[in-house]
Amino acid sequence: MTKWYEKSGDQGDVILSTRIRLARNIKEYPFPGRLSLDQRQKVEKAVCGSVGQCMQLIGSPYRFINMEDISKTDAVSLVERHLVSPEFISDTRGRGLILSDDESVSIMINEEDHLRIQVMREGLALDQAYSVADKLDTLLNERLDFAFDERLGYLTQCPTNLGTGMRASLMLHLPALQESGVMGRVANSLSKLGLAIRGIYGEGSEPVGAIYQLSNQVTLGLSEKEAIENLGRIAMQLVSQERAARKTLSKNIETQDSICRSLGILQNARMLTNDEFMKLLSKIRIGISEGLIPNISYDKLNALMVRVQPATIMLPGGQTLSPAQRDVLRAKTVREALAPVG
């Protein structure tokens, strides 16, 4: 089955993906930070007992993953595919994951909150992702009875999530703006608008390959609809700025040469670190958007970007590889995927 991250969606030259995340807690249990292991297991059982029918009603075949039963490589790969948070795999006791077959829906059990409901979509798809998340939220609330206060909204372990408990985020590829040296100023402007722009894995992470995560910061005092509309409006302004900056950048012969050389390296390299791959891939994406590189699709690049991440690349063979062995395998995988046609 094709995964959501193997496709390109609306505004796909700049916006790689959309995520809607809802933080929810079951009324009858303390927040996860105060749960005993026995209580964690009871929460996990309660959620699993309620999820099956709900996932069927939204049309998503799924599986349950007991985080204590999987390897470190499998766990890190889940982070690389943006299905769980880095914090979620740091302590797997009493934690579980509900994951749809196409990996567009994931529910973390006993992370910072009892449930973290996540819906992911390719490209710009805030309304579509929220529609699925909202339906699943409603169905689960009928069975689990989420903690809610008329004044404060949904109750969460971290006060910054009070209210809607919703984080909407977009993954943006902003190489031209980054090259222009304006990202610091952009981040300051966004914070005044109730938004945050961070690295590829969210808070505390750095941008890799000029990929940034843009998300809402305010969850109290405004509706989900208002938050989504604000995020979408600001994101489209960034899209316009990035496209304009790319056009200017790509007129430079040195930039054109760098883009074409990057493709040559990816099509011929025998070893590739992940950092080097991501930097070169960033240039290829510019080349495609500006018509300098034909016959390579964003779909192929999106799938490849996930496939060759350090942990994910080891999954098909089921072996633990050294960094050097991963670099050799990554180069081989990329060469085969980007080989010239004909």
Return binding residues. 17-21, 82, 116, 167-171, 198-203
- Count Cβ neighbours within 10 Å for each residue of 259-296 and write b for 16 or more, e otherwise: beebbebbeebeebebebbbebbbbbbbbbbbebbeeb
Q: Are 299 and 8 in contact (CB under 8 A)?
A: yes
Count of C-beta atoms within a 10 Å radius of residue 157: 16
Q: Are 130 and 22 in contact (CB under 8 A)?
A: no
The amino acid present at 225, given as its one-letter code, is: K
What is the distance between the alpha carbons of residues 292 and 305, in angstroms, rounded to a whole number?
A: 20
Q: Strands (DSSP E) along the chain, which ranges? A: 15-24, 62-66, 96-100, 105-109, 115-122, 148-149, 153-154, 166-173, 195-198, 211-216
Which residues make beta-bridge pairs with 168?
Answer: 20
Q: Give the CA angle between residues 47, 170, 226 to the nearest 5°.
A: 80
What is the distance between the alpha carbons of residues 18 and 172, in angstroms, rounded to a whole number?
A: 9
SS3 content of the chain, % helix, strand, coil (to 5): 50, 20, 35
DSSP track, 54-93: HHHHTT--EEEEEGGGS-HHHHHHHHHTTSS-TGGGT--T
Q: Are 115 and 126 in contact (CB under 8 A)?
A: no
Which residue ranges are tagged as binding site for ATP? 17-21, 82, 116, 167-171, 198-203
